Every structure is written in structure tokens, then in C-alpha cells.
Amino acid sequence: MASSINVLSQEQMKINPELQKERNKASFNVQELISILDGGPKRTKRRKELEQLLFTDPVFTNPDRHFMSKSELYEHGVEKSVRLFQLKRKYQWSEDDYTLAERLLRKEISLSLHHTMFIPALERLATDEQKAKWLPLANSCRILGAYAQTELGHGTNILALETTATFNQATDEFILRTPHITSMKWWPGGLGKSCTHAIVLAQLIIHGKNYGLHPFLVQIRSLEDHSSLRGITVGDIGPKLAINTVDNGFLKFHNHHIPRDHMLMRNAKVSRDGKFVSEGNSKANYATMILVRVNMTEWAANILSGSVTIAMRYSCIRRQSSLKQGVEEELVINYQSQQYKLFPALASAYALLFTSRELHQYYDRVYPQITKGNYRQLGELHSQSSALKAMCGELAVYHAEICRRACGGHGYLWSAGIGEAVAGCNTIITAEGENTVLYQQTARYLMKQVASVVSGQEVGGYTAYLNTDNIYTNPINTSQHCRDLNILAGIYQNMAASVIKKTAHKLHHDMSSGLEQHVAWNNNMINLVKAAQVHSHLSTVLAFITSLDNLISSQPIKSALTLLCQFYAIYGITNNSGDFIETSSISVYQLELLRAEEIKLLSEIRPDAVALVDAFDIHDETHGSVLGKYDGNVYHHLYQSALREPLNKTDVSITGNVTFCILV
Amino acid sequence: MASSINVLSQEQMKINPELQKERNKASFNVQELISILDGGPKRTKRRKELEQLLFTDPVFTNPDRHFMSKSELYEHGVEKSVRLFQLKRKYQWSEDDYTLAERLLRKEISLSLHHTMFIPALERLATDEQKAKWLPLANSCRILGAYAQTELGHGTNILALETTATFNQATDEFILRTPHITSMKWWPGGLGKSCTHAIVLAQLIIHGKNYGLHPFLVQIRSLEDHSSLRGITVGDIGPKLAINTVDNGFLKFHNHHIPRDHMLMRNAKVSRDGKFVSEGNSKANYATMILVRVNMTEWAANILSGSVTIAMRYSCIRRQSSLKQGVEEELVINYQSQQYKLFPALASAYALLFTSRELHQYYDRVYPQITKGNYRQLGELHSQSSALKAMCGELAVYHAEICRRACGGHGYLWSAGIGEAVAGCNTIITAEGENTVLYQQTARYLMKQVASVVSGQEVGGYTAYLNTDNIYTNPINTSQHCRDLNILAGIYQNMAASVIKKTAHKLHHDMSSGLEQHVAWNNNMINLVKAAQVHSHLSTVLAFITSLDNLISSQPIKSALTLLCQFYAIYGITNNSGDFIETSSISVYQLELLRAEEIKLLSEIRPDAVALVDAFDIHDETHGSVLGKYDGNVYHHLYQSALREPLNKTDVSITGNVTFCILV
Ligand SMILES: Cc1cc2nc3c(=O)[nH]c(=O)nc-3n(C[C@H](O)[C@H](O)[C@H](O)COP(=O)(O)OP(=O)(O)OC[C@H]3O[C@@H](n4cnc5c(N)ncnc54)[C@H](O)[C@@H]3O)c2cc1C
Ligand SMILES: Cc1cc2nc3c(=O)[nH]c(=O)nc-3n(C[C@H](O)[C@H](O)[C@H](O)COP(=O)(O)OP(=O)(O)OC[C@H]3O[C@@H](n4cnc5c(N)ncnc54)[C@H](O)[C@@H]3O)c2cc1C
């Protein structure tokens, strides 16, 4: 069995009896759910093998990470990256293995973007000839790459990037220039200190004419001694809220020359005599960015499941106050308000895991078609991945932060592990398309779908619910109705359809009254964003519901997760009740029924609280939290961690002199 | 004029023309509003004097603070504390001056709790004789103190603290013991490395009998060489999300002896022969904790006004995307969604400032009565300060985080200044009473008030709105009605009264049906917390409304702030619409009117956007943000800050060897 192959087995430690009691209450077999979530027992086994390999290696188990300065974090992150590359080669890991290993290390390595952005971009942007030359170098890390798109002055508006690559026919070269301070590359991960090469997005200028943005492979640093090349100024942009293992960088070009064949020419070519020929289809690049967003939903799900694991275990050993004088202090998980903090987080973690998995499968279905030149589903894939990247990021940060606060004072310690996770997860909200901007992309798609429906065309896929007309009366009248997932789904669909159609109607009305399209769009922007949000929220509810049937065969597990799914759906209604009442999707009376049911569900979920987080089976080294370890010996771990604090290396930190100097 | 006395005058720098254009649009005299917010022109003048004094001193203007390790932050913080004490003495600052100076330094000093907790506690807990001995030492910093209450195992439940102080009649001493690992003191600020003394809360044991919690003044470190005393283990608890200048500490006692007269005996005495006599009234101590909470509301307001200053200025120079192809890129502030991020934050910043000010005045009225033994208003003061500490903290963190995200990628940099502010502000939510716990205190008070009303007694003060019965129809039918602050206040009062009374009714009903009181309380906890929240939200709305009349004489300023107040009230309704509709405080139709009005208000507030943040007049050194400086030269400051990053001191950070080592 799983535990036998893991020498570091979490199960073998001395377990806090409070946690053991919780575990004994589980209504289902936790190992079975672990397997389901991993995607089968083989994958569980493989994960445990990797955990054993990584977490017996001192490079990956540094307990002093919390105390490192940014420079130390970077250096340590490089060391981890190097070891990871070595292991990959030594054990001939598959891509899946490597991705899993990165996840187990919470992506806390420095050179991850070489693997997750540079190589994929090279694969999609280079010609076959260029690939033959560069990919072997990249895959064996003889060159290290960054993907340099964003500039100081432009992130969202890619088309307005200012870096130029001017063709010089005389020397058969491109000359790269950074015309203004705002044109400096700024943000690319790995660019600051690590990379030897970067794919640089720049405006292509030939004989004075601008041919738009194109990618160029530019060497940044020497392969001999890693010094930066002449004509290039490069460095790190400074401390960030988190992910300080990665050297996000800036880059300036001072008339830097590169050979013509360093333009990545899969989609467009420049010939020796300066002729520009567009080839291939740029939409295929698009699909790469979509993949990154799909991956981000998984990251969000992982962060949230980690955070709720920590807070749930801690709440099941922390006793504080008594409800009644004179009796033993209560476990804080037994306070209703504490359950109302953690169970929504737990339910959301499952919702996000299932949503992310479904989105991944959808991507895997559509992407091969796109590479074959069939773009029919690209619009919807773009819409879904944008909205869900945004929504999953926001939900994860929101609930993980509640988990942090639910740990009281100790949750404010870095060693609690949640603060850093939340700060890291905040990246998802901003990077790879700022959320408000992405929601608008989805809104554009939704408006188009409504237009189709209005014009009498039926729409399919993720927006099929827009086909039905708005007149809807939900039948909720009893407690049982409140648990009916079909009814709950119907309520969400009705609400979302109403909000979206109302927005479309208003937009249409404003334009009919003479407003220019862009003015009307801006005047309705709040509602357009809202439309995309309710659509994405609905998508998560539906993903949870369908996953119950698709993934789970064990009846006890299905029962436990059904409670969680009901709770997720009801909580989403009671906490956004205005949206549902305003759209007549529920009545005030029905809302009361739902609230009563929500409270009943708290106590039904309660016995499985710990089992349901144990099922995420996150290794102690992965979540790196003194509060959330499998053994639950919280106070011991808190104290051990404090003893390592560098200030405690010496007894005296301020000398008598200081005190004396205040005095005189 | 103000600017003439400030050599570092922010106004004298070369201003980004985009910002200047915004400033030219102001509908009111900014200097006048600055004065009002400072509390009069004299106080503005004094603030500017202090800013000049502090921010021409290199100790207080360290541009490399962002790059410091925790140990360096602590050392630097000690240096700042010492300098501040010296300045206080040299210039004979008043208490107000000192508090203001701490605010200007964003409390980023190490020894602040000596001043804000240790000395006030000494004043309230020591006998006159003890004060005569200890206060001069404390005031001149010949001793440095911490307030040590919380333990590893107990924060919220103070009564269950485990540290014991056992009277030893033979030697006329107390013996301090830390019986379990959970009994270690844990969290007190300044305890880890700085303090020489601590006020330690411990269970008093005399001849085997426990007399409950009492305060003891315990020497922790030598006054000669600052080494920790025998019988004491003390240290720092490790890195936190923020405020790492402060050394929050742990403390263990191994049968540590202190003289009997080191028990602070203002409220209870132990005589030579071990007789325990209770004296004075412990409720007076209570008022100290209340004061700390009152101060926290001000801190919350300051953090939020700083964060919105940064995001607003940045949004008024950042251009990104165009609404229409081919035209100049838009200032991001002109996107409706951006206004809907920042104007609620702006309005909330003003709401919090006024709320905090009003709460302070209320405290100043009630506190003297309490010290005279009149406890009539203590209950309400406790209720208001608990609820508002909780609500102001939550609102500040919520809106400040939106401000951070509204800065796009650059908001994720530490140098943007908001991330650290948010992380620091998170303390408010947890420390000095965890928010959920505090809301319950307020809920208890509210339930009592409802009981009075139900029994036919009229209630007064902040809960007077509970007297009216619930049948209420608000008259909103036009756009003008939506702007009527009396109507808006009425809507809030009706909503709050309904929620609170419904909760009281349900609680009563559950107990009548036979549930024990503590079970009923727990079963209704979500609603009880909600009751306290709607009450506090209402309090902020009312504070904003009454401040308009009480504080502001200038008509242009009043007009500008009235728009903001209307917006604050309406936004609170549209974003919690369920609460208002469910309680029949508004109809769905009225909600639509309010939403339309809310959008109109955005464009009415827009011209004053920058003037309204300029009026907070936060010094560049105080908010310490490259994005929010008065001059608006964002890109320049971003780059300058990156150049200081330690990783950029050398060109090469990873050697060729590393790359090579991956290869082989
Ligand atoms: C941790 C991190 C890692 C990154 N890694 C990389 C990398 O490896 N490579 C790389 O090239 N880049 C990278 N980036 C950059 C990132 O992709 C951009 O920061 C991101 O796309 C946001 O763009 P921005 O900064 O221009 O935001 P802005 O567009 O400036 O956003 C500011 C505000 O304006 C609003 N706004 C802008 N346009 C509109 C509009 N049309 N309508 C309404 N509102 C609008 C936004 O909603 C936001 O509130 C990274 C960023 C971060 C934070
Ligand atoms: C930055 C910082 C500085 C501090 N400085 C000091 C200092 O100088 N001196 C000092 O003595 N202490 C200090 N503290 C400690 C602080 O006062 C406590 O952490 C705080 O009061 C919260 O208590 P707790 O940690 O026991 O939370 P817990 O009570 O353990 O909270 C954990 C969870 O249980 C819930 N819970 C607990 N009781 C109940 C209940 N009855 N009903 C419902 N839910 C409940 C909470 O809502 C929370 O979700 C500091 C803390 C921090 C974070």
C-alpha cells in the first residue's frame, strides 16, 4: 500500500490524539479518495515515489527557508532547479513527472519559466530548422531562457509594446532598441539574473515600415562566464509580495545586433532582401497562452486545498474558550462561525479541483483541432479559460485568506504557511492577463452568444443555458428540494442568464440611443464584468455536479462529496442573495429555506472535516506549515520553528549601550 | 503657507503633467481640506515641521528598507526607535507629537510597544508607590517594557492563561512558572530581544489557592549587558507577514523568583503574610484595551487612505489600451471598472477617518467617567469599539487590497508600497481581540438592547434605532431621493434593526424550545456575527453623514464630500443588496434606481479624484511607494528602485559552472 513505499510516511509519526479522533470519524475510505483525486492508484504511487525522492534530499527540505533574504532565496532556488534538472535527466522523468515534481515543490525553484514558458514558446514560434538548432540546447539546459513580453509601460496592451527590431539589410541583422524608459522589458521571470537567452517580443521595422509584433531569440548572457553581453542592460526588478525565488527582470537594448535568423519565423519570415512574408496562423500562439491560464486554475486549486488543510487540522486541535462556564474548552472547529469560515473553503477547494480538471480535459479535446487549423471552438475555449483563470484565482485567494485568519494569531506567522501561499496566489489575479481585462474578453463572447440567441440561433457548449427564456419558477418548497442539485443548477443558470441578457439588452439599448460602441461598452463595464463573473461561478457549480457522477464510483465518497457540493451551491446563493432575488431566481421565502439547509449541512459535513482535507494528501514538506502537519503536534512545531529564527542565535541583540544611549 | 516650511515640499518637485492636469480640475481648495483633516491649520503646520525634521534625517529615509532581512529590519527599527526617543526628549515633544511622529513613520520602529502598551498598562495597574518608582525609569527608557499576556495555547480565552505566580511566604517572593509548552508567553511585541522588563499576566497562587489572573512586573534582561536573566528563556517567535521591525517574543519561566512588591497592586494586593485583598475596580483596565482598539480604527483609516492615494495617482498617469482603435491610450482611471475599484476605496477611506475620529471623541467623553467609577456607558463603549475595530480593519484590508490589484503588475512589487500596508493592516483583524470574537461581544450587547426594547424600555445612544418598529417603507422613487442622506440612513437603520431583531427573536425562540443558552448561542453564531456587522456598517454610514455637518464649513468641500458620502452609502446597499431586499428595506425597483445613481456619481466624483487623495497629504516617505509619489514620475521611480536591488550589485549571479553542471 501507499504508506509502505514512503519512508517519510506522514502516517507513521506520533499523531495528536485530537486529530486521530477526527480521523476515526471518517465516513469513507480516505485512501480511496486520494486515489481518485490523484487520477488513479498508479499516479498516487508515482507521487509518493517522487515525494520520497525529493524530500529525502536536503536541497529540497531546507527548514530555514523562512528566514532567507531575497538573494538567498534566489540562490537556493537556483540550486533546487539544477538538482531538479539533474533528477529529471537521471531518472528520465516524463513531462508529467516533472510537472508533478514542480508542484510538490510549490514551484519554489528559480528556473521554472525556462521549462513552462521558454521551451513551449520556442516549440510554437520557431521554424523546424530553428527548432532543430535551439531545442536540444534548451532541453539540455545548455541555454536558459525567459519569455520577454511585458514592458514597464505596457502589459495588458500588448500591441502597444515599444521595443523595436529594425532590419539592417547591409549586415543582415536586426538592431534591437529600447527607445524610452517605458519600453524596457519588465517582469519576465528568469530574465533578471538567470537566463542566457530570451524570446523578445518587438515591433518589426523593415525599411522604415512597422510590421507589428514578432518574436526574436536574443542571447542575453555569455555561455562562458554568464556575464551580460555588450549592448544589453539587464537586472532584477526587486522584491515582490512572494515568489522571490524567481528573478523577474528588466532589460534594455542599446542598438543590440542579432543575426536575421534569430527572428523566430514560424508565423512570419523576413528574407535576405528585407521582404516580409506572413505564414502559418498566429491564432495557434494564442492556444499557448490559454494553456498557461488553464494551468493557473490548477495552481489556484492546489493553493486552496493546501490552505484549508492547514486551517482545518489546526482548528481540530486548537481549543479556545468554552461555550459554557466550567466545561472543557471547545475545539474551535465546533464553533458555528468557524465552520462557516472553513467549510466554504473546503467545498471551494473541491469545486476548483474539479473545475480545473474539467477545463484541462476540454483544452485537451480542443487544442488538437486548433493545431489542425480548425478554430471553431477557439472562441469558447478562450472565453472559458479567461473567465475561469480569473474566477479560480479570486476564489482561491479569498478563501485561503479566510483560512489564514481562522488560525487566529498563529496564522499571522510566516511559518503557518498560508500567508505566503496567499501572496503567491495573488499572482494568478494579475499575471497572464489582468482579471478585469480577462472578464471583459469573456463578456465579449457572452454578448455575441446572446446576440445569436436573440437572432433565433441556438447556442451550444458552455452557454447553452442562454437558449431558454427567462421565465422560470424554481420549485423549492421543502428541505429536500434545497438538496436537489438539478434544482440548484437551474437556479444558477437562471440567475446567470438573466444577468447576462440584461447586460446585453442595456448595451444594445445604449448603442441604439446613439452612443458609440466603445462609449457604451465603457458605460456598461461594471455589468459586463459581472456578467462574466456569474457565468464563471455557474461553471464551477456545474463542474462540481458533473464530476460527482463522472469521477466517483464509491458510494460513501459520493455521499460525502454530495453534501459538500450541495453546500457549495447553497453557500454561493446565500452569500450573493441579491443577485438571485433581483433576477427572481429565488424568493425571499426560498432563501430562508436555503439558509436553514446550509446550517444543517454544517453538522453533516463536520464528521468528515479532517478526512476531506487528508484526502488532498499534501505532503508536510509541500505545504511547509507548522500548523498543518499531518501529525498535528502544532505547539511543538511552532516552538521548534521559532528556535531557528536567526535573531535567536545570540542571546543579546541590542547592547546595553543602546539603552544607555536613550538615557543620556 | 504650509509648503514654505517644508524643504522637502512635495509640491516643488517636477510634477508629471498628467497629474497636474488632474490637480487643476479640483472643485475645492485642497489645502483647506488638508487642514480640516489634520484638525486645523496649526496641526497641519506642526505635522509639516515634524515631517521636515524626520525626513531630513537619514535614519528615517532609508531607501534600502525593502531589501532588508528580518534581522536587519529589527536592528534598523531599534535605531529609529532610539532616535525617536532622543528627538522626543530634545524637543520636549507632547504625547500628541510623539504619536504623530510614529504615524508618519508608519509605526516602523521596534520599540513602539514600550510606549503604546507598557507605559499605559503601568499607569493603570501599578500603585502610586510603584508608579513613583517605575514610571520615571520607563519614561526615560532606562527600562524597556513589553506587555506579556498571550501564550502559545491561549489568546482569546485570557482567563485560561497557564503561567503561574506562586507566593512563597518564606522568602516574600513570587515564583513564576511555565508549566507546559502551551503556557509559554508568545506574541508580545518587544518581548523577544528588546525589553528589559515585562508586565506578565499570571495566575496568582497563594497557599495552594488560585486567585485568578494578575499582573507582575518581571525583569527579563540585565540592565548592564542586556543578557537574559537566569530562570528565563526568551526569544523571537520568527518572521511574520509584516511588522518585522517588531520582535514579537516567547518567554518561559523556570521557577523564576521576583520580590512580592513586583506584583502590580493597584487592583489587588497580597500582604506579607499572604492575605489577598481585592481593591479598586478591574473594569478600569478594560478601558485601556478599549483605547488600543480605538487607536486601531485610526490605523486602519490611515492605511486605507495611503493605499488609495497610491492607486489613484498611479491610475491617473497609467495609460493602457484604448477604448477605440487608433486613438490615444486611455488613462486607466477612465475605465468604469477602474473607478468602481478606486472610488469605493476612496469613499471608505473618508468614512473610516470620520468614524475613527468620532469614536475617539466618544471615548474621550466616556473614559473620564469610567475612571470616576461611573460605568453606565462602559457597555456601549466596549460594544462600539469592538465592532468598529473589527469593521474598520476588515474594510481597510478589503479596499486596500483592491487598490493594490488595481495597479496591475506593478502593484505586485514590494516597492509599490501597498502589499506591505495590507499585510500590516491584517494585524488589526486578529490582534487585540480576534474579530469574530469581538463581533460576538457586540452581538451580546445588541441582544441585551433588543431585550430592553421588547420589554418596553427605550434604548438610547448608538442603538436608538432599535426603538422603532420594523414597519418601514422608504420613499425612494426618484433620482433625488437616492441622494437624500436621511433616506439612505433610514434604509440602513431599517435593515440593521430587522437583522438584529430577527436574530434576537430566533435566539429567544431556540431557548424557549428548550435549547440550553450556550447551545442556542452557538447555533445562531453566524447570524449573531452578522448582526454586529450590520450594526457597525451602519455606524460608519452615520459617522460619515454627521461629520459632513460637524466638520466642514467650506461649501465646495462639503459638496465634494457629500457626493462621496452618497456614494459610500449607495455602494454599501448595491453590494449587499440581499440584506436590504430580504429585510424589505428596499424594493428591487428601488435598487435599480440606486444602481443608476451610483454610476452617475462615478463621473461626478471623477474630477476630484486626485484632489481628494492629495487632501490626505501623506508624505512620500510615509507611504514609501514608487507608484504613489506626489510627483507622479512612476516609471523613473520604479527603475531607480530596481537599481538598488542587491542582486544587481554584481552582473553575474549564477556562474557558468551552474549552467555547465546542469549539462553534465
Ligand atoms: C508575478 C508576475 C509575473 C509575471 N511574469 C511575466 C513574464 O514571465 N513575462 C511577461 O512578459 N510578463 C510577466 N508579467 C506581467 C503581467 O503579464 C502583466 O503585469 C499583466 O498582464 C497585467 O498587465 P499590466 O501590468 O499592464 O496591468 P494594467 O493594464 O496596467 O492594469 C492596471 C489597471 O488598469 C485596468 N485596465 C487596464 N486595461 C483595461 C481595460 N481595457 N478595461 C478596463 N480596465 C483596464 C486593470 O483592470 C487594472 O485595474 C508578470 C507579472 C507578475 C505580477
Ligand atoms: C501581530 C500580532 C501582535 C500581537 N501582539 C501582542 C502583544 O503585544 N501582547 C499580547 O499579549 N498578545 C499579542 N498578540 C496576540 C493576539 O492578541 C491574539 O493572537 C489574538 O487575541 C487572537 O487570539 P488567538 O490567537 O488565541 O486566536 P484563537 O482564539 O485561537 O482563534 C482561532 C479561531 O478560533 C475562533 N474562535 C476562538 N474563540 C471563539 C469563540 N468563542 N467563538 C467563535 N470563534 C472562536 C476565532 O474566531 C478564530 O477563527 C499579537 C498577535 C498578533 C497577530
Please give the distance of CA A324 from its chain centroid, rounded to a whole number: 43
- Using a CB-CB distance cutoff of 8 angstroms, which residues of chain A are in contact with residue B226? 652, 654-656, 658-659
Question: Any residues with Cβ below 6 Å from ligand 1, and which?
Answer: A 113, 147-150, 155-156, 187-189, 243, 248, 427, 430-434, 436-437; B 318, 320-321, 332, 335, 337-338, 406, 408-409, 412
The pLDDT confidence band at residue A103, using thresholds 50, 70 and 90, is very high
A261 vs B373 pLDDT, higher one: A261
Over residues B398-405, mean pLDDT: 98
Q: Domain B37-109 belongs to what topology?
A: Butyryl-Coa Dehydrogenase, subunit A; domain 1 (1.10.540)
Over residues B464-485, mean pLDDT: 88
The pLDDT confidence band at residue A660, using thresholds 50, 70 and 90, is low
- Using a CB-CB distance cutoff of 8 angstroms, which residues of chain A are in contact with residue B409? 150, 155, 187, 430-431, 434
Question: Which ligand is nearest the CA of A525, by number?
Answer: 1
A410 vs B124 pLDDT, higher one: A410
The pLDDT confidence band at residue B610, using thresholds 50, 70 and 90, is very high
- Using a CB-CB distance cutoff of 8 angstroms, which residues of chain B are in contact with residue A66? 238-239
Give the SS3 label for residue B110: coil
Measured in angstroms, the CA of B421 and the nearest CA of chain A are apart by 11
pLDDT at A6: 36
pLDDT at A659 over 70: no
pLDDT at A601: 98
pLDDT tens-digit series, residues B407-459: 999 999 999 999 999 999 999 999 999 999 999 999 999 999 999 999 999 99
Measured in angstroms, the CA of A224 and the nearest CA of chain B are apart by 6
Retrieve residue B432's grid coordinates: 487585540
Whether the CB-CB separation of A390 and A439 falls below 8 Å is answered with yes
Q: Domain B124-279 belongs to what topology?
A: Butyryl-CoA Dehydrogenase, subunit A; domain 2 (2.40.110)
pLDDT at A1: 30
Q: Count the residues in chain A.
A: 664
Question: Which ligand is nearest the CA of A340, by number?
Answer: 2
The pLDDT confidence band at residue A553, using thresholds 50, 70 and 90, is confident
Residues near B517 by beta carbon (within 8 Å), at least 6 away in sequence: B511
Q: Compute the mean pLDDT over every residue in chain A, rounded to the nearest whole number.
A: 94
What is the spatial distance between Cα A297 and Cα A89, in angstroms, rounded to a whole number? Answer: 28
pLDDT at B282 over 80: no
pLDDT tens-digit series, residues B493-527: 999 999 999 999 999 999 999 999 999 999 999 99
Beta strands in A101-172 (DSSP E): 145-148, 164-168
What is the spatial distance between Cα A609 and Cα A340, in angstroms, rounded to a whole number? Answer: 12
Over residues A563-571, mean pLDDT: 98
pLDDT tens-digit series, residues A493-527: 999 999 999 999 999 999 999 999 999 999 999 99
Residues near A188 by beta carbon (within 8 Å), at least 6 away in sequence: A113, A146, A147, A148, A149, A150, A198, A248, A249, A251
Query: Taking CB atoms and an 8 Å limit, are B526 and A645 in contact across chains?
Result: no
Query: Taking CB atoms and an 8 Å limit, are A412 and B405 in contact across chains?
Result: no
Percent with pLDDT over 70 in chain A: 95
pLDDT tens-digit series, residues A261-299: 999 999 899 999 999 999 766 666 667 789 899 999 999
pLDDT at A323: 87
Over residues B323-332, mean pLDDT: 92
Give the number of other Cβ atoms within 10 Å of residue A330's Cβ. 19
- Does B430 sit in the ligand 2 pocket, CB within 6 Å? yes
CATH hierarchy code of domain A289-456+474-612? 1.20.140.10
pLDDT at B629: 97
Catalytic positions of A are 432
The pLDDT confidence band at residue B471, using thresholds 50, 70 and 90, is low
- Within 13 Å, how many C-alpha atoms sit on residue B561's CB side? 30
The pLDDT confidence band at residue B289, using thresholds 50, 70 and 90, is confident
Whether the CB-CB separation of A76 and A68 falls below 8 Å is answered with yes
Give chain B's radius of gyration (CA, Å). Answer: 27
Residue type present at position A117: M
pLDDT at B12 over 80: no
Rounded to two decimals, what is the model's pTM? Answer: 0.97
A658 vs B204 pLDDT, higher one: B204
Give the least confident one: A9-13, A171-175, B329-333, B494-498: A9-13
Whether the CB-CB separation of B36 and B557 falls below 8 Å is answered with yes
Integer CA distances (angstroms), B558 to B308, B351, B523, B545, B561, in order? 20, 14, 46, 11, 5
Beta strands in B138-241 (DSSP E): 145-148, 164-168, 173-177, 185-186, 197-206, 209-219, 232-236
pLDDT at B2 over 50: no
pLDDT at B661 over 60: no
Whether the CB-CB separation of A490 and A468 falls below 8 Å is answered with no
The pLDDT confidence band at residue B13, using thresholds 50, 70 and 90, is low
The ipTM value here is 0.97
- Using a CB-CB distance cutoff of 8 angstroms, which residues of chain A are in contact with residue B240? 412-414
What is the spatial distance between Cα B355 and Cα A383, in angstroms, rounded to a whole number? Answer: 43
The pLDDT confidence band at residue A434, using thresholds 50, 70 and 90, is very high
Q: What is the 3-state secondary structure (H, E, C) of B51-101?
A: HHHHCCCHHHCCCCHHHCCHHHHHHHHHHHHHHHHHHHHHCCCCHHHHHHH
pLDDT at B7 over 60: no
Q: Whose CA is nearest to atom 26 of ligand 2?
A: B155
Whether the CB-CB separation of A219 and A230 falls below 8 Å is answered with no
The pLDDT confidence band at residue B63, using thresholds 50, 70 and 90, is confident
What is the spatial distance between Cα A164 and Cα A204, in angstroms, rounded to a whole number? Answer: 6
pLDDT at A7: 38
Element (H, E) at B28: none
Whether the CB-CB separation of B144 and B226 falls below 8 Å is answered with no
Percent with pLDDT over 70 in chain B: 95
pLDDT tens-digit series, residues A33-49: 999 999 999 999 999 99
Percent with pLDDT over 90 in chain A: 87
pLDDT at B371: 81
pLDDT at B6: 36
What is the spatial distance between Cα A203 and Cα A179, in angstroms, rounded to a whole number? Answer: 12
- Does B245 sit in the ligand 2 pocket, CB within 6 Å? no
Give the least confident one: A467-481, A546-560, B235-249: A467-481
DSSP at A535: H
DSSP at B118: I
Residue of chain A nearest B416, judged by CA positions = A240
Catalytic positions of B are 432
For CATH 1.20.140.10, the residue range(s) in chain B are: 289-456+474-612
Mutation choice for ligand 2 from A320, A330, A405, A627, CB with most ligand atoms inside 8 A: A320
- Using a CB-CB distance cutoff of 8 angstroms, which residues of chain A are in contact with residue B659? 141-142, 144, 196, 223, 226
What is the spatial distance between Cα B254 and Cα B251, in angstroms, rounded to a whole number? Answer: 10
Residues near B226 by beta carbon (within 8 Å), at least 6 away in sequence: A652, A654, A655, A656, A658, A659, B196
Whether the CB-CB separation of A590 and A488 falls below 8 Å is answered with no
Q: Does residue B150 have a known ligand-binding role? A: yes
Residues near A570 by beta carbon (within 8 Å), at least 6 away in sequence: A482, A488, A594, A597, A598, A601
pLDDT tens-digit series, residues B65-111: 889 999 999 999 999 999 999 999 999 999 999 999 999 998 889 99
Give the position, in ligand 2's atom list, of the atom nearest the Cα of B154: 26
For CATH 2.40.110.10, the residue range(s) in chain B are: 124-279
pLDDT at A108: 87
- Does A318 sit in the ligand 2 pocket, CB within 6 Å? yes
Contacts 24+ apart (CB under 8 A), A641-645: A641/A63, A641/A66, A641/A415, A641/B238, A642/A415, A642/B235, A642/B236, A642/B237, A642/B238, A642/B250, A643/B235, A644/A63, A644/A64, A644/A67, A644/B238, A645/A67, A645/B70, A645/B235, A645/B236, A645/B237, A645/B238, A645/B239
Contacts 24+ apart (CB under 8 A), B127-132: B127/B264, B127/B265, B127/B266, B130/B217, B130/B261, B130/B264, B130/B265, B130/B266
Query: Taking CB atoms and an 8 Å limit, are B639 and A184 in contact across chains?
Result: yes
The pLDDT confidence band at residue B657, using thresholds 50, 70 and 90, is low
Over residues B342-347, mean pLDDT: 98
Residue type present at position B506: K
What is the spatial distance between Cα A572 and Cα A410, in angstroms, rounded to a whole number? Answer: 29
Give the position, in ligand 1's atom list, of the atom nearest the Cα of A201: 11
pLDDT at B397: 98
Q: Does residue A150 have a known ligand-binding role? A: yes
Over residues B267-296, mean pLDDT: 86
Angle at A330 (CA atoms; ends A327, A332), nearest 5 degrees: 165
Query: B206 φ, ψ to 5°?
Result: -125, 125
Over residues B117-145, mean pLDDT: 94
Residue B632 region, left (φ>0) first, then alpha (ψ -120 to 50), else beta? left
Question: Which ligand is nearest the CA of B322, by number?
Answer: 1
Residues near B626 by beta carbon (within 8 Å), at least 6 away in sequence: B413, B415, B416, B417, B634, B637, B638, B640, B641
**Four-point Cα dihedral A17, A22, A28, A33, nearest 10:** -80
Retrieve residue A384's grid coordinates: 472559458
Q: Which residue bears the cell 529529471?
A: A88
For CATH 1.10.540.10, the residue range(s) in chain A are: 37-109
Give the number of other Cβ atoms within 10 Å of residue B560's Cβ. 23
